[in-house]
Structure 1
Amino acid sequence: MAVADFVQQQQLHALYSSHHGWLQGWLRHKLGNAGEAADLAQDTFVSVLTSGAAPQIREARPFLATIARRLVAHRYRRQVLEEAYLAALACLPPAVAPPPEARLLALEALQEIDAALDGLPLPVRTAFLLAQLERLSYAEIAVRLDVSASSVKQYLTRANRHVFFALPP
């Protein structure tokens, strides 16, 4: 093991030892669920580990809380998306409902698209969803968003480019 790797491992160990209990307690207070808090605390430290950011951390608790908040938001968004998908499936007659494997693949695809859209400004994301899900024209989207049709065209170009490069091949 290289000296730099050993030092980074020691920094991460110190960060974990000093702040894991606090982070898990903070998450438990926020979420009201000890199991979810434990999972998200671990996910937070995994994120720090995989990013290699441990050596650059100046204020550990605000840094860890920021990562944890993002993970909570991501988990909540994923849960809302899954619930909406399952509610839509429940409306289908059993004869046309997709099999469990297809449901899982569709849900994974929806989550990938959601992640790809994350980070886009709200009007751009909304325009993309209106065009893809409701098949609205530029003019109809412009009315809904109270912008010009040329703005909608720019929004959709940006969203399509963003999604195209964000999704795996």
Structure 2
Amino acid sequence: MQIASLYQDHHSWLRQFLYSKLNCQAQAADIAQDTFLRLLNKQASNKLEPIHSPRAYLTTLATGLVNNHWRRQSIEQAYLETLAQQPEHMAPSPEAQQMIIHTLEQLSLVLEKLPQRVRQVFIMARIDGLAYKDIAKKLDISVNMVQKAMCKAILACVEVQSEST
């Protein structure tokens, strides 16, 4: 099925579906467009498989984009709340804020894909500032296990960084 006919046959249905999830016409329209843009990108890179159930396929793609939207909004809100607690003269520029939010979003995606123990170790070390020996004691594992978990987490971050550059 060609994307043009897929767009023509299902775009308004997809927008309505997304509106029911987002309760915002503008966001529904944006995510519907992003869904078809993903299809075009897959087609351009020859990764688009034949689509047998268009609505199910579009629903899956669009739902992933909606989840990304909510994740980004949650990260942005948490960052802005933290920023509001800082003295105004220390606030980064709007461009720097967007870069920080993007970086936090990428970190969130990386952490989400890590095994639970690795994620837990990384957060305890980098966010909570705990020493490896303290993490080992809290989790009842060896310091060597903490070091291995941190290596996995850092490698995952480096891989995402190298993919985006």
Same fold (TM over 0.5): yes
Number of the residue aligned with 1:15: 6
Alpha carbons of structure 1 residues 70 and 126: separation in structure 2 relative to 1, 3 Å? farther
Q: Please show how residues 21-100 of structure 1 align to structure 2 within 5 Å.
A: 21-52=12-43, 53-100=47-94
Q: Which runs of 5+ in 1 are unaligned?
A: 1-9
Q: Which runs of 5+ in 2 are unaligned?
A: none
Q: Distance between the aligned counterparts of 1:70 and 1:90, measured in 2? A: 30
Alpha carbons 2:15, 2:32 under 8 Å: kept: yes
Q: TM-score, normalised by structure 2?
A: 0.82
Residue aligned with 2:2, SS:
helix
Q: TM-score, normalised by structure 1?
A: 0.80
Q: Given the alignment, which residue of 120, 141, 157 partners 1:148?
A: 141
Percentage identity across paired residues of the two chains: 35
Q: Which amino acid aligns with 2:12?
A: G
Q: Given the alignment, which residue of 128, 139, 161 partners 2:122?
A: 128
Root-mean-square deviation (CA, aligned residues, Å) is 2.3
* Runs of 4+ displaced beyond 4 Å: none
Give the Å deviation of 1:22: 1.4
Alpha carbons of structure 1 residues 121 and 65: separation in structure 2 relative to 1, 3 Å? farther
Q: Distance between the aligned counterparts of 2:57 and 2:93, measured in 1? A: 42
For this pair of structures, how many residues does the alignment match?
A: 159
Alpha carbons of structure 1 residues 141 and 19: separation in structure 2 relative to 1, 3 Å? farther
Q: Which amino acid aligns with 2:79?
A: Y
